[in-house]
Structure 1
């Protein structure tokens, strides 16, 4: 087996691309500063969609490009920009995408990072419309307070390699376990980059959290992640645990239509569709804990929402999870406990359910959403209490119980 690439080196190991893009505008990423935005603004770097090319489109400043492109530099120095991550956490890898920048891509780049406290940041001028502009002396003065020249280097100066004009990715592995909040992308000396993807996992300081109310234990911003799924034809399950409310169908999980659907569909006695197949997604919680409330949002899924769903939970060790991933979750897991029985769903609606968990000490590490027969879900929220909070709660009072639907017997 070949040795894994060293940190910050070009890599073919693409597992990290299944993680969340922590810099994306869709999770709150923001460009704070760029030295120059003459041909195309740095905001394009963090667009959630893939770059496109418009062959015959021009602006008053030159060729329209879907990326960040600076002017041909005629003064000393190099170009760079600062990105505030929408999700703070551990970075596993970068994708520096130079698609469509044939003849104008940045020849070299490097990436630095920092962990900055939000309330101690200087006031940085809003950027506004930037095409055709360069940073002002006022903007340079404000950004200098961040001392970004001294930030940690995650990727040293490296040559960028254009490949297929429509798909030209440069991947870089990161092994650091530190938490980062800001990124500095340097290009040497100038040029264009279509997208910068910052792949990683959110992190939350659970010890500093006053959890008087249940918290979303599967939230991607806190470190929740999808670790297996049956189908993601139109959208990855990680979208369901994303930041904020669902914005469109593209912002959720949607499967292909199952080919084994019967020619004529029928309902069972409980009003739920009789169907032989299903689709599923498994999530590792951001923190082991007890789920007390489940939210399933089908907003925007009006003609393609699932008919029904179930939610189950279990405890898995790291090794057990690795084994399941290798086997594509085909091995039986006797540990699954029902959190939500088979429940009818409605299109374009937020559904809120009580969990079937019978006591606060019933901790899980993983949850599985199963939808029947197929379709799309915008958001999945699994609210509850981290295990450390659960175990500290007094056992002197009667066990907290939650609503159990008639005819369904929960596991003891």
Structure 2
């Protein structure tokens, strides 16, 4: 997941200079583009962050607050279209900061043609970002294909991070910064009486397999906030094995053999009690119906399933939601069958019939401290209902 993207709430807090193009471009969710003949009053229009040619001591840098806070696995420093003006070298630092203890940094507003003010430098100095941990040391950036110049860096750090600082040496341009990783939540701090979305991408939920993602990735469904458009959801291609003439059964469910599916690893093992399926913006292309199942898998079992394209034996999956009719452009709320089964799960499979698009999937429930490393021979651990869990349970 791109933890810095504007689509998940990433934000540029500070940049030393934004003369040719503002640092906010770094975290745009779409890829960079190029307009050959377009100029601004400050110079060539560029889709990225580009500073002026530095004529003073020092180097340029910016600070980004991650929209999803968690474990960083790698970076993509993209210098596409910056031919002749890319930053020659860069480094990346990171910190884990408490939100309520952060200094107040002035709002950036419109930045083109501007450099940071003394007041902004004074405010950001309180972050002591020059002392943050280095995840990528100073490294030379290598241009490749002008339209696709990516520099990838793996990170081996189990720590939780909330902010990153991108340093460029000494100046220049970068099109995009992707901060790839997984969300991480402090589960000990949650209210045990209130259900929490156990599949949320911000907490560490992630799609680990899918049948088709022609128009949109399943990770979009577990994204931050509400859907922004039809592009902000999971949408498959139309199945080619649809019958020439469609028919319904007595319950109004389409009679088709094919389906599409996506498997998610929950952010934390737990019991799912409430299900939310939103088809907002999908007006002529929502699924006819859907179902949801869950199971328990160890890390090794998940790896095996990925290799086998999720051909999991049917007896391992347990129903959370039976085949249910869906309506276009509507938010659907359901009680999970685990209200009765009280089964802990680690993974959920969302199946849509026959195809189509869904904007959001929320699997709300209660985390459990189930041990996933126990020997196979031991008896199954059951979910224990906490005081105040739910009156009707």
Provide TM-score, normalisation by structure 1.
Answer: 0.90
Residue 129 of structure 1 deviates from its aligned partner by 0.1
C-alpha contact (below 8 Å) 1:360/1:400 kept by paired residues:
no
Give the corresponding residue for 2:203. 222
Residue 260 of structure 1 deviates from its aligned partner by 1.1
Give the corresponding residue for 1:409. none
Give the corresponding residue for 2:349. 368
SS at match of 1:346: coil
CA offsets 1:271-299 (integer angstroms, 9 cap, x no match): 01111100000000001000001000000
Give the corresponding residue for 2:376. none
C-alpha contact (below 8 Å) 2:74/2:180 kept by paired residues:
yes
- Give the gaps of 5 or more residues in structure 2: 371-381
- Alpha carbons of structure 1 residues 394 and 154: separation in structure 2 relative to 1, 3 Å: closer
C-alpha contact (below 8 Å) 1:304/1:376 kept by paired residues:
yes
Give the corresponding residue for 1:59. 40
Q: Choose which of 97, 101, 112 in structure 2 pairs with 1:120.
A: 101
Give the corresponding residue for 1:168. 149
The answer to whether 1:208 aligns with 2:200 is no
- Alpha carbons of structure 1 residues 309 and 136: separation in structure 2 relative to 1, 3 Å: same
Give the corresponding residue for 2:22. 41
- Map of 1:135-150 to 2, 5 A cutoff? 135-150=116-131
The answer to whether 1:276 aligns with 2:268 is no
Residue 263 of structure 1 deviates from its aligned partner by 1.6
Residue 167 of structure 1 deviates from its aligned partner by 1.2
SS at match of 2:338: coil
Q: Residues of 1 paired with 2:248 and 2:383: CA distance?
A: 43
Q: Residues of 1 paired with 2:237 and 2:390: CA distance?
A: 46
Residue 331 of structure 1 deviates from its aligned partner by 4.2
Give the corresponding residue for 2:288. 307
Q: Residues of 1 paired with 2:386 and 2:190: CA distance?
A: 19
SS at match of 1:130: coil
Q: Residues of 2 paired with 1:94 and 1:290: CA distance?
A: 34
Residue 210 of structure 1 deviates from its aligned partner by 1.3
Give the corresponding residue for 2:379. none
Give the corresponding residue for 1:17. none
Residue 359 of structure 1 deviates from its aligned partner by 4.0
Q: Residues of 2 paired with 1:164 and 1:301: CA distance?
A: 36
Q: Residues of 1 paired with 2:133 and 2:387: CA distance?
A: 47
Give the corresponding residue for 2:385. 393
Q: Residues of 2 paired with 1:330 and 1:355: CA distance?
A: 24
Residue 349 of structure 1 deviates from its aligned partner by 0.5
Q: Residues of 1 paired with 2:174 and 2:339: CA distance?
A: 53
Q: Residues of 2 paired with 1:41 and 1:90: CA distance?
A: 27
The answer to whether 1:157 aligns with 2:149 is no
Residue 170 of structure 1 deviates from its aligned partner by 0.8
Q: Residues of 2 paired with 1:396 and 1:135: CA distance?
A: 52
CA offsets 1:23-79 (integer angstroms, 9 cap, x no match): 001111000000000000000000011111111111000011110000111111110
The answer to whether 1:106 aligns with 2:84 is no
SS at match of 1:92: strand
Residue 397 of structure 1 deviates from its aligned partner by 11
C-alpha contact (below 8 Å) 1:110/1:155 kept by paired residues:
yes
Give the corresponding residue for 1:132. 113
Q: Residues of 1 paired with 2:210 and 2:195: CA distance?
A: 26
CA offsets 1:292-322 (integer angstroms, 9 cap, x no match): 0100000001111111000000011111101
SS at match of 1:238: helix
C-alpha contact (below 8 Å) 1:230/1:279 kept by paired residues:
yes
Residue 361 of structure 1 deviates from its aligned partner by 3.9
Q: Residues of 2 paired with 1:143 and 1:399: CA distance?
A: 49
C-alpha contact (below 8 Å) 2:192/2:389 kept by paired residues:
no
Give the corresponding residue for 2:378. none
- Give the gaps of 5 or more residues in structure 1: 1-19, 402-412
Residue 398 of structure 1 deviates from its aligned partner by 11
Residue 270 of structure 1 deviates from its aligned partner by 1.3
Provide TM-score, normalisation by structure 2.
Answer: 0.94
- Count of paired positions: 382
Q: Residues of 2 paired with 1:75 and 1:144: CA distance?
A: 19
